[in-house]
Structure 1
Amino acid sequence: MLSTVVSAARTPELRRKALWTLGLLAVFRLGTTLPSPGVDFGAVRTCVELNSGGESGGIYQLINLFSGGSMLHLSVFAVGIMPFITASIITQLLTVVIPRFEDLRQEGQSGQAKVAQYTRYLAMALALLQASTLVALAARGQLLRGCPEAIFTDSSLFAAITAVLVMTAGAALVMWFGELITERGVGNGMSLLILAGIAAQIPDQGMSILDSQGGLVFTGVCLAMATIVVGVVFIEQGQRRIPVQYAKRVVGRKMYGGSSTYLPLKVNQAGVIPVIFASSLLYIPTLLAQFAQGSSGAVQEFIQKYLVDPNHPVHIAGYFTLIVFFSYFYVAITVNPQERAEEMKKFGGFLPGYRPGKPTADHLSYVLNRITLPGSLYLGAVVVLPNLILGRGASGSAASLAFGGTSALIMVSVALDTVKQLEGQVLNRNYEGFLR
C-alpha cells in the first residue's frame, strides 16, 4: 500500500488529483464547523457536551458520526451525505422493481447518466425532508435532551425556513464535492467524505474516553480497535474464486479463447450497505420515542428501554438480525447469477463440470448463498461486538462511536477501495509510458 502511495506521489497527474481531493476535503470539514443562520452555536455546543456522555442522543449519535459531527451542531453541512446515499440505495432497489430503470441500466453510459440525475433529484427531496425534520426537532428541544438554552436565536417561521434551505443547499454542495472527487480526484468521492468525517472525530472522542475511563480502558479500546481493523482487512480481501474456462473459437484466420480465468465472489459482497440499512431502520424506534412522549409512561419506557438503548440485548439482537437479513437482501438484488451465466455463455465461457445456462446459474447461486452467510455474520459481529465488550461504560456514548466496529468497517473498506483505485491508475500510467 505504501509503495502505491509513493508511486502516486511521484506521478504529476496523480499528485494533482490527490491535492485536489485534499482541498475539497478541507472545504468540506470547514463547512461542518459553520453554524446555520439563526443557530446559537454556544448553546448547541453546550447541549452536545451534555449529551456526549450518555445515551440520550440515541441513533442520532450514529447519524451524526456519518455526517462528520455536523448534524448535532446544526451546521451548514448538517444534513451531510446521507440523503445521497439513501437515494442511491433506493434507485438500486427500483432497478429490480421498475423495468424502466433496468432498461436505463442496460443502455450504457447514457442510461447511467439518467439514473444518476434521478438520484440527484431524489437526494434533494430527501435532504429537504431531513433538514425540515432536523430543524423542527431542534426547535422543539427534542433533538438533544436537557438543553439549558434555546438553540435558535430567532423562533420565527422565516428563520426556520431559512435554516432548512441553507442545510438543503449544503447537502447539494456536499454531493457536488463527492462527484468532483470522483471525476477529478482520486475517485470514490462519497465514501471519502464519510471517511473524512469519521476520522476527524477520532482525536476528540479518544480524549473523551481517556478522560472519562482512564488510561487502562483507553489502551484496551485501542487494542480492540486494532484487532477489528486486522479482522476487517482479512475478511474484506477474502474471495471465492470460481474457475471459468473459455472454449476456443476460430474467427477468420485467428483463434480466440481457450484461456482459463476465474470469477471472484467476495465474502462480503454487500459491503457496508447492510449496516446503513439496519441503522436507518433503527432510527424508527427513536422517532416513536419522540412521538410517545405525550402517551402513557409504560409505552415510552418500553420503547426507550428495549428499542432505543444501544446496550440492551433486544436492541443488539435486532441490530444483528437486520444486518444479516439485509446482507442477503442486497446481494440478491445486486448479483444476478442468471445474468452472469448468460454472459459467460455468450462469450463461450463455462464452469468445469457444469453445463452452460441454468446449471451454471444454479451453482453460482448456491456458492453465493454459502459465502454470504459468513459475510453477514462477520458484518453483524464487527458492529455489535463493541457494544457487548465495552458494555454501558462507553459504547452507548458518542465518545466510543469513532472507535466502534461500524467506524472501523467503513474506514478500512473505503481505504482499501481507494488504494485499489490508485493502484489501477498507477498501472495505467506505467503501461502508457511503456507503450510510448
Structure 2
Amino acid sequence: MKKFITTLKNIWSIEELRSKIVFTLGLLFIYRLGSFIVLPGIDPNQLANLSNNSKGGMLGLLDAFVGGAFSKASIFALGIMPYISASIFMQLMTILVPQMAKVQKEGESGRKKINQWTRYLTVAVTAFQAAAYIGYLKSPGNAEALIPAYGSFFWISTVVILTVGTLFVMWLGEKITDKGLGNGTSIIIMVGILARLPQAIREEFNSRITMGAGGLLLLLIEFVFLIAIIMGLIMLVQGTRKVPVNYAKQIVGNRQFGGARNFLPLKVNAAGVMPIIFAQAILFFIGFIVGLGNSSSKAFLSDHTNVWYMIIYSVAVIAFTFLYTALIFNPKQMADELKRNNGFIPGVKPGQPTADYIGTIMDRITLPGAILLALVGILPGLFQLVFKMQLNFSTFFGGTSLLIMVGVVLDTLQQIETQLLMRQYDGLMSSGRMQGRQAVPSGM
C-alpha cells in the first residue's frame, strides 16, 4: 500500500504527466455530459421502451460501447462507432488493395492521406447510420417518444446532429491521443463500457438480496470469478512467443556493428478483439435475415445463452481469428526485413525458408489463441446460464467489453510507466517493468 501511494505521488509530481491526465479527464467529462443530452423532438420521459428494445444483439453491443447514449436517444447516440467502422474498412483496404498499400507506405504523407479518407468515410457512414437510427426511433414501440409538433424537422435535424456529434467525439479522441494520455478512441470506448458498470452491479446486488443470505455469497463468488477472468485475459493479451534472432557482425573501419541477439515477439492473440466483433456482426445479420420469416430463428441466433448459439459463435470466432491474422500478419515481409537488416533465425536459411518458419509458428500459436478468444466470447452466456445473473452484469464476464477494457488499461498503464521510467522513478510493478502490448490496433 505504501508503494502504491508513493507511485501515485510520483505520477502527480511529474508536471507533463499531470497535465495529460487532467486534460484527458476533462475531455472525457465533456463526452459523458453530452451522452445525456437528448435529441430535439424526443420526449425524454418516454424513453423506457427504447431502452428495453436496445438490449441484446448488436443494438445492445452498440449501446454498451457508447455508454447507454443509444438507448437515451442522445446527441452522441452513435458515439465513435462510425469512425471505428470506417477505420476498420480502411485498414482492410490497405491490405487488400495494392494502390492503398502503396499510399500507406509513403510515410507521414501517406498516413495523413489515409486519415483524411477515413474522416470522409466516417461522415458517409454516420449519415447512413443516422438515417437507420431514425427508422428505429419511428418503429412501433419507440414512436411514442417522438414529439408530433416537431415531426417536419425531425429527420433533417437528427441526421445533422448525429453526424456532428460523431465528428465531435472523433475530434475528442484525436485530441486525447495528441495531448492526453493513451489512445483517445480506445479510451472513449472504455469509458462508455465502464459507465454501465455501477448500474449493472446495483441490479445484480438487488437481485441477490431478494434471494436471502445465500444470494450475497453467490455475489461474492461471482466477483471472485470476475477477477480470475480479468487475470486470464491479461495473460491472453500479453502472451507472446519469442523467436530468437541473431544479427550478423559488420566491421566498418575500426567499429563493429551488429552481432546482437534479439527476439521476434509473435503475439498469441494477434487479431485482438476483431474476430469477436466480426462473429457478432455476422450472427446478427444472419439472425435478421432468417428472422424476417421466422421470429423464433431470430431469437435463437441472438440468445447468447443458447448452446447451439455458443457452438456456432465459437466456430465463427475461430475462423475469423485465422482469417484476420492472415490479413494483418505477413511473414514474407518480416523475413525480408530481417534479411535487409542482416538478421537471421538460428538454423533457418534467410528468405522464403524464414517466412515459412515464421508462418508455421504463427499458425501453431494462433490455434490456442483462437480457442481462448472463443471461450472469452461465450463466457457471458455461460455465466448467465449457470449463475442466473442479470444480463447487464454478465456482459462484464467476457466478450468484447471486457477484452477492450483490459487491453486499453494495459496500454494506458504502459504509457504511465514509460513516463515514470524516463524520469528515473520506479515502474508500476515492483517485480520489474510491466510488459505492455506490442501494438495497438488502429481504431480499437
Corresponding residue for residue 434 of structure 1: none
For 1:417, which of 388, 411, 415 is the aligned residue?
Answer: 411
Tell me if structure 2 keeps the 8 A contact 1:341–1:361.
Answer: yes
Aligned-pair CA distance for 1:17: 0.7
What residue identity is the alignment partner of 1:96? I
Gap regions ≥5 residues in structure 1: 432-436
Corresponding residue for residue 351 of structure 2: 357
Q: Using the TM superposition, name which of 3-12 and 275-284 deviates more.
A: 3-12
Does residue 165 of structure 1 match 2:160?
yes
Does residue 391 of structure 1 match 2:382?
no
RMSD: 2.3
Aligned-pair CA distance for 1:300: 2.2
What residue identity is the alignment partner of 1:38? G
Report the TM-score when normalising by structure 2. Answer: 0.87
Tell me if structure 2 keeps the 8 A contact 1:179–1:190.
Answer: yes
Corresponding residue for residue 97 of structure 1: 96
Tell me if structure 2 keeps the 8 A contact 1:209–1:394.
Answer: no
The 3-state SS of whatever aligns with 1:73 is coil
Corresponding residue for residue 12 of structure 2: 9
Tell me if structure 2 keeps the 8 A contact 1:37–1:163.
Answer: yes
Write the distance in 2 (CA, Å) between the matches of 1:4 and 1:316: 43
Q: Using the TM superposition, name which of 192-201 and 120-129 deviates more.
A: 120-129
Could you give the per-residue CA deviations for residues 33-89 of structure 1, whole angstroms, max 9, x where no partner exists? 111111111111x2256558xxx6433112110111111111011001111111111
Aligned-pair CA distance for 1:426: 3.4
- Give the direction of change, closer, same or farther, for the CA distance of 1:59–1:338 in structure 2 (3 Å limit): same
Could you give the per-residue CA deviations for residues 300-325 of structure 1, whole angstroms, max 9, x where no partner exists? 22222x21222222222222122112
Tell me if structure 2 keeps the 8 A contact 1:199–1:402.
Answer: no
Corresponding residue for residue 283 of structure 1: 284
Write the distance in 2 (CA, Å) between the matches of 1:383 and 1:237: 18
Q: Using the TM superposition, name which of 279-288 and 258-267 deviates more.
A: 279-288
Q: Using the TM superposition, name which of 17-26 and 130-139 deviates more.
A: 130-139
- Give the direction of change, closer, same or farther, for the CA distance of 1:5–1:255 in structure 2 (3 Å limit): farther
Aligned-pair CA distance for 1:288: 3.2
Write the distance in 2 (CA, Å) between the matches of 1:393 and 1:38: 41
Report the TM-score when normalising by structure 1. Answer: 0.89
Write the distance in 2 (CA, Å) between the matches of 1:174 and 1:217: 39
Tell me if structure 2 keeps the 8 A contact 1:35–1:75.
Answer: yes
Tell me if structure 1 keeps the 8 A contact 2:51–2:71.
Answer: no
Corresponding residue for residue 23 of structure 1: 26
Does residue 218 of structure 1 match 2:219?
yes
The 3-state SS of whatever aligns with 1:242 is strand
Write the distance in 2 (CA, Å) between the matches of 1:153 and 1:399: 33
Write the distance in 1 (CA, Å) between the matches of 2:205 and 2:247: 58
Q: Using the TM superposition, name which of 417-426 and 373-382 deviates more.
A: 417-426
The 3-state SS of whatever aligns with 1:362 is helix
Corresponding residue for residue 428 of structure 2: none
The 3-state SS of whatever aligns with 2:75 is coil
Query: Which structure 2 residues correspond to residues 208-287 of structure 1 after superposition, within 5 A?
Result: 208-214=203-209, 215-285=216-286, 287=288
The 3-state SS of whatever aligns with 1:17 is helix
| Identical pairs, percent | 38
- Give the direction of change, closer, same or farther, for the CA distance of 1:51–1:86 in structure 2 (3 Å limit): closer
Could you give the per-residue CA deviations for residues 314-351 of structure 1, whole angstroms, max 9, x where no partner exists? 22222212211221112111111100110110010000
What residue identity is the alignment partner of 2:176? I
Write the distance in 2 (CA, Å) between the matches of 1:50 and 1:66: 16
- Give the direction of change, closer, same or farther, for the CA distance of 1:136–1:366 in structure 2 (3 Å limit): same
Gap regions ≥5 residues in structure 2: 210-215, 426-444
Higher RCO structure (Cα 8 Å, ≥6 apart): 1
For 1:400, which of 394, 403, 424 is the aligned residue?
Answer: 394
Aligned-pair CA distance for 1:239: 1.0
Tell me if structure 1 keeps the 8 A contact 2:181–2:412.
Answer: yes
Query: Which structure 2 residues correspond to residues 292-307 of structure 1 after superposition, within 5 A?
Result: 292=292, 295=293, 299-304=294-299, 306-307=300-301
Write the distance in 2 (CA, Å) between the matches of 1:394 and 1:70: 27
- Give the direction of change, closer, same or farther, for the CA distance of 1:430–1:120 in structure 2 (3 Å limit): farther
- Give the direction of change, closer, same or farther, for the CA distance of 1:7–1:270 in structure 2 (3 Å limit): farther
Corresponding residue for residue 79 of structure 2: 80
Write the distance in 2 (CA, Å) between the matches of 1:15 and 1:373: 42
What is the total number of aligned residue pairs between the two structures? 415
Tell me if structure 1 keeps the 8 A contact 2:331–2:358.
Answer: yes
Corresponding residue for residue 433 of structure 2: none
Write the distance in 2 (CA, Å) between the matches of 1:235 and 1:354: 28
